[in-house]
Structure 1
Amino acid sequence: MEAKEVISEKRIDELDYIRGFALLGIILVNILALLNIGIPEPNTLDASYQKFLYLFVEGRFFTIFSFLFGLGFYLFISRSFARGEKAYILFTRRLVILLILGIVHSMFHPGEALLFYAIIGIIILPFYKVNKKINLVISLVLLIVFAVLATKILLIIPLMLLGLVCGQYRVFENLVSKTKQIMLFTILTFAASVIGFYIQYQSIPSQPFINMIFMDADGTYDQASTFLRIGITIGPLLSAFYVGLLLLLLQFKVFHRLLSPLKYYGRMALTNYLGQTVFILIAGKLFITHQLSYIDTLLMCITVYAIQLAFSMIWLQFFKMGPLEWIWRIITYWKVIPIRRG
């Protein structure tokens, strides 16, 4: 009875908004790894857009997505327990499916996130029963350590654990009554982000660069690599500010309605995340003989946004969940789940 009182079955719309927002940023960076993109010419629009990506996008939206996976981890298991289900078995099956999807997806998109989410999900599963204060300390310590080391993949561990902690503390429940706390959080993270942004901006390369981190033979990093590493280090700060600002805006009805397409986009996160790769690879085939520019990738992403946002909004008028989310749920529960509304 207690678990049912603590964990509500009601969907938290704000999480869908945040998830949709994260998807918008993830594709802007992922497309660079999937297509043949040339290094921009100095003092061009492409060069300016490259700087924008690595100041405001890279390492920011991936961080949000990882955090949300940890929070979803907590909500799934808690609600399963509240319904009297075998939560650990269901969640493990869910991760195995995600692992298979990740393996297949990595064949087309090396370094993609789903594979790591599945593996790390198994690793942090025991932390579900750990005291929330202990989890909070562990997640923050690991987050600081891995951020300072600029180890992007390892950052997934504390980010997912921090998401689990926010679930334990019920941070995202009844957000309407937490406007003051959200405002304070947003102000503090903005101040920290300004400092971090200033530090990264001071190391910005004078010339366009390859978006890879290299270490020289003597163990030092060149200017571009230092710039990219600082971006990874401060990434969680800017991500926190983005989330705080979005939550603050959603307290107002006008923004709640204006940004509503993000809610539908986020509800079909798995379908849209994998769909992004499909669209990008198709575009790559069409332009296989062309050297694409950074601005070309932006235009492609805007096109994908338009298609997927429209599709998500239309699809969810008739169905309860996205097509891949539906298949994922069927295999998780090993039974056919009704998908049509009504």
Structure 2
Amino acid sequence: MNEITTIGVDLAKSVFQLHGVSSEGNVVLRRQLRHSQMLEFFQTMPGCLVGMEACASAHNWARALAELGHEVRLMQPSYVKGYVKRGKTDQADAEAICEAVTRPSMRFVPTKSEATQGRLVIHKAREFQERQRTQIVNAIRAHLGEFGIVIPKGIHKIDRLIAACDEAKLPVPARKALNLLAGQLTDTQKQIEDLTSEVPRNAVTDEAARRLQTIPGIGPISADALVAALPDISDFRSGRDLSAWIGLTPKPHSSGGKERPGRISKMGNSYLRRLLYLGAMAQVSARRRGKPGNNWLWGIIQRKKPKQAAIALANRMSRTVYALLRDGTEFQVAQAT
């Protein structure tokens, strides 16, 4: 009668809050556990449904609890928020998670394997290093600008920026500081190149990533990131669902039967969205320099601004990714219009 069938777990760094209910919906468990007590507690529990918010450590706990015979479901925190009755407490959050995980309309996040998470760490570390490189470049340009030395923008101007630091006539304190930043920029650039060299190895050995690279605008980095970050492709009903999951579809605004689509939603995985946009922008730039034509991309370029055309192409590319992963095929240029 009071057997626990569903448990909501509010994850944290050291203290976890649990909320359990029976099959009749009666609350039979409210408990806090330390990090070291989690596995010991669930080892003594019969198999039940466990709900968690998809956060940094959620996939690791999901794998560990699944090995103990529990059914673990991960949910986006934004989807759980609507089930919080009042206040922001660990107990209220655990109760909301326990309620949300039983909803038939809830959307769940597939649990990632260790291998998949390992591939994503390379991309996340590379993205972090790229942000640091941008910050260092901006700092050096700003400091040189204070002494009247102007260097054009662009990552491809790094060598010129470092040379300007070496050749500029600067006060001793400024020279020391800029040499330090220039050395940090050189080291960061080398680290990015080392991480980038790891990606093609996965992209070559993975059959799905190899097929995605046949799509114009998608290279080894984008293909490997798509394969590692995307859930099971069967979770999407259509290519538009995948595009919406990445955040490349217009945000809907409807009232009184009138629909007013706005800008793209920018929901979902921002890293995948940026990679698809950069690949699309490269295709748009190359097409604008080419000869006039009558295909789909040329028509978009004539009607829209370059960045708008790139978003439209990125949307189309995401739908092509869906088709290739669903059917196990390669991109056919002759059939693309």
TM-score, scaled relative to structure 2 = 0.23
Which protein shows a greater Rg? Answer: 2
TM-score by length of 1: 0.23
